[in-house]
Amino acid sequence: MQSEKIPSAILNAAALLLQPYLPDLTPQKLETALAAKEKNAGELDLSRKLTRAECARILGVSVNSVHRYIQNGYLRAINISPRLVRVDPESVQELLTNGIIAREK
């Protein structure tokens, strides 16, 4: 999704407000960071396992739906403990790409 260019006055004001927290921030660095964030918005970080809540947010479903997807084999998960579950991000990407394929009964 392409957004319109942020006016330089807004970038200057935002950089100035954030200066106490990020001393080396400039309007140019802020604009570059925002452009990079927008460019990578649709990409899924495949380097780490995801929580059920993160999966739910990415897929746009409830945590209960994520649990059901895991139980039905649509998502691959690792049970670290009875209450601690991490989901394979590649399976999330596959689900986003292919959707849920109906199984024969």
What's the confidence (pLDDT) of residue 44? Answer: 63
What global pTM score does this model have? 0.56
Residues 34-68 as b or e (16 or more Cβ within 10 Å = b): eeeeeeeeeeeeeeebbebebbbebbeeeeeebbe
Helices 89-98 & 52-59 angle (0-180, nearest 10): 20
Instruction: Look over the chain and give the mean of its residue pLDDT values, rounded to a whole number.
Output: 86
What's the confidence (pLDDT) of residue 47? Answer: 76
